[in-house]
Every structure is written in C-alpha cells, then in structure tokens.
Structure 1
Amino acid sequence: MTKFALVTGANKGIGYEVVRQLAEQDFHVFLGARNEELGKKAAESLGLSNITFINIDISNTQSIQNSFKQILEVTDYLDLLINNAGIALDFGTLPSELKVETLRQTFDVNFFGTFQMIQTFLPLLRKSESGKIINVTTDMASQTMFDNGETAPLNILGYNSSKTAINSLTLTFGKEFENKGPEILGVTPGFTTTDLNGNMPGGNTTSESAKIITNYALSNENFNGKILNKDGIIPW
C-alpha cells in the first residue's frame, strides 16, 4: 500500500531534502511550496516520479483548502504531514526594536499557518494506521535550553517565540491525540546553514538536518507530544 507524505516549504533548504529522502524511501511525496514556479522547478529537479507538486501558502486559509482538494484527487489518506514551512523576519533585530507588524506576520505563518494545516489535514491523517505529524521547530524555542545557554545565543523574539508557540501546540494536540492518533511531535534539526539565516556558516548541511527529521518520520518509536533533537527528547 502506497504511503503518502506532505511536506510544506519544500522548494528549497531542509524541506527539499526531506522530500528527496522520503521519496527514496518509497513514499509518494507532495512537495508543498508557496511559489508555484519555484515549487514546480524543485519537483522536476528531483527527477522522481513519486513526487507531486502542491501549491500551498500556509498563511492563506483558501490556499490550504485548495491544497487539501488537490491531494484528495490523488489519495483519501495521508501517512505523514511535515510542517516545515516557516519564516524568520527578525534576525539581527533587538526585541525592543521589533515592529509589531513583523511579529504578527511571523506568527501568522509559523504558528497560525501550522495550526490550520493540522486542523485541515487531520481527517486524512486519521485514516492512516500510522499517521504522524512532525512540526519543525528550533532548539532556541526551548525556554529551558535557551535560558541555560545550551543553544545559539540569538535573542530573536519573533522567530523564537513563534516556534515556542508551535512547541505548545505540539504538546496540546499530543494530549488530545494520545489514544486515537495521529502521533504528533516537534523536531529541531539544529543550526543549519540555509536561506532562513542568510546562509550563516558553520551549521549542518540541509541534507544532514533533513536526515534528523526523516529519521523520526520513519521511526517506529512513539514520541507523541514530545520535542526532539538528534539526541532525543528535549525540554520545551
């Protein structure tokens, strides 16, 4: 039986590599991207017949609904939803100098967008015997680890707090899903050199970080409601 996965924000970076790795594990992967041209190019460049481009802007409710209808034309169930799409608009901005509009925009995509994705695709995930949702987060969103100096010292209110909110969302949905599924977990791939941080040097490659996510995606161990890095469960 074919396994189906949807990965958002997948036309580049970590998401693109997650699509590749899942497709190589015989998933039929829906490559979700906001930009239609870039998304189609990304899907074509991977050169695999089990990858389908889906146009999806997670900050737009109608776009999410449209993507749901597109996927229903192919399958009535989904085994894996990877909420990878996100924005970081306040790197280099002090919290006291952050504009409220920027903060709202960050939450609109990172938090409210992820929330709507979960609500919309939940019926399809519940039809799978092994439905799983992975929310891509950051170790800087862990209040404990950030306060203890165990993460990069990037005091970026918008990005970090929106991901902390995703961690809270993961916990609360996890409590609801406990007995009836799907499994939901948050995964931080750690510091990665990507467009998101202006290709800051010294991080993991996108392929290395994607592997951390796909390892949990393919794992038979249940981590419902937990936040994890490459070494296992971390505090949120």
Structure 2
Amino acid sequence: MKKFAFVTGANKGIGLEVVRQLAEKDYHVFLGARNEELGKQAVKSLGLSNITFIPVDVTNTESIQNSLAKINVITNHLDLLINNAGIAPDFNIKPSEIKLETLRQAFEVNFFGTFQMIQTFLPLVNKSERGKIINVTTDMASQTMFDRGETDPINILGYNSSKTANNSLTLTFGKEFGSNGPEIFGVTPGFTTTDLNHNSAGGKTTAEGAKIIADFALSNINYNGKILNANGIMPW
C-alpha cells in the first residue's frame, strides 16, 4: 500500500527538510503551509513528483477542514501526521514582560493548532496499518531538563510553556490510544539554526535536525506517548 505523510509548517526550515527526506523514502508527502505562494515555491524547489502542496493554517478550523477535504480526494489513509508548524514569538522577552496577546499567540499555534490537527486527521491515521502522529517539540519544554540546566537556558514563557502543553497532548492522547490506536510521540531536533530562532549560529543544519524527526518517524520501535531527542526517550 502506498504510504502518505502530511507535514505542517513545511515551506521552509526543518519542515521542508522532513518533507524531502520522507519523499526520498517513497512516501507521497503533503507539504502543508499557510502561504500558498511560498508553499508552491517550496514544492517546486524540491523537484520531486511525489510531493503535493496543501494549504493549511493550523490556527483556523475551516482551513484545517479544507486541508482534510483536499487530502481525502487523494487518499483515504495517512501513515504519518507530523505537526511541525510552530512559532516562538517571545525570543528575547522576559517572562515578566511578555504581553498576554503574545502568550496567547504561542498557544494558538503550538497547542490549540496541534490539538485541532490531531483531532481532525485521527480518522485518516487510524486507517493506516501503523499510523503515527509526531509532534515536534523542544528540549526546553522538558520541565526536568530545563530545571536541571540540561538544555539551552532560553527562559521564554510563550514558546517553552506552549510546547510543554504540546507534550501534555502527546501524553494524554498516548494514554487514550494505548496499544490499540495509532502511535503518538513528540520529537525535539535540538538546537537547529532556523528562522524560528532568528538563525542563531551554532545549531544543527535543518537537514540534520530533520533527520532526527524523520528517523523516528520511520523507526520500527513503538514510542507511543514518549518525548524523544537524538539520544532517545527524554524526561518530562
């Protein structure tokens, strides 16, 4: 059976590289992006015939429903749903100085957006022989590791806490799915130089960061309900 994957926030950065790597493994990949022009340019830049652009804004319920309708025309199942779309609107802003609307914005994309994607596409993932839902997270969302100083010490409330909430989604859906439903797990690529962090120097390349996500996506090991980094399972 032909395999299908849907990657959100995929017109650039890690998402674009995840699309490339899955397409090279013979998946038909749906490249999701808010901006139609940028999404179509991204597909063209990859130059692979097994990639289809799907417009999707994860903060907009109607947009998510429309993306489902477009994918339903092509396939009745989805083997991989990779919730990569995310924002970090509060870099260099102290937690005591963040505006409420900025905090809400982070949660709207990183938490509520991911939630809506999971709920909407779960029926398609359930129709796969071994469907997987992968939520892209950050090591800074691990309360344990962040408190111990084992991550980058970037103390930003909006991004970090919304990704911690994202991790909670992973755990709770994982408990619901158990051993009968699809797999759901979180993956952090670790510090990767992207637009998200204003292309901060010293990180992994987007291809290196994406490989961590793609490798777990293609793994035969069941990681349901877990949060993973390059070394394997990480603490909450």
Q: TM-score normalised by the shorter chain: which range applies? A: over 0.9
Secondary structure of the equivalent of 1:191? coil
Q: How does 1:39-118 map to 2 (within 5 A)?
A: 39-118=39-118
Secondary structure of the equivalent of 1:29? strand
Which amino acid in 2 is paired with 1:170? T
Which amino acid in 1 is paired with 2:185? L
Consecutive unaligned residues in structure 1, runs of 5 or more? none
TM-score, normalization: structure 2? Answer: 0.99
Q: Which residue of 2 aligns with 1:131?
A: 131
Which amino acid in 2 is paired with 1:103? L
Alpha-carbon shift at residue 180 of structure 1 (Å): 1.9
Alpha-carbon shift at residue 179 of structure 1 (Å): 2.7
Q: How does 1:198-217 map to 2 (within 5 A)?
A: 198-217=198-217
Q: 1:45-70 CA deviation, whole Å, 9 max, x = no partner?
A: 10101000000000000000000000
Q: 1:15-47 CA deviation, whole Å, 9 max, x = no partner?
A: 000000000000000000000000000001101
Q: How far apart are the structure 1 equivalents of 2:131 and 2:217? A: 10
Q: Which residue of 2 aligns with 1:184?
A: 184
Q: How far apart are the structure 2 equivalents of 1:179 and 1:194? A: 35
Which amino acid in 1 is paired with 2:67? S
Q: How far apart are the structure 1 equivalents of 2:200 and 2:170? A: 28
Which amino acid in 2 is paired with 1:58? V
Which amino acid in 2 is paired with 1:74? I
Q: How far apart are the structure 1 equivalents of 2:184 and 2:9? A: 19
Alpha-carbon shift at residue 114 of structure 1 (Å): 0.1
Please identify runs of 4+ aligned residues in structure 1 that moved more than 2 A: none
TM-score, normalization: structure 1? Answer: 0.99
Q: How far apart are the structure 2 equivalents of 1:235 and 1:167? A: 11
Q: How far apart are the structure 1 equivalents of 2:198 and 2:144? A: 26
Q: What's the % identity of the aligned pairs? A: 77
1:175 pairs with 2:185: no
Secondary structure of the equivalent of 2:74? coil
Q: Which residue of 2 aligns with 1:150?
A: 150
Alpha-carbon shift at residue 181 of structure 1 (Å): 1.4
How many residues were matched structurally? Answer: 236
Consecutive unaligned residues in structure 2, runs of 5 or more? none
Which amino acid in 2 is paired with 1:159? Y
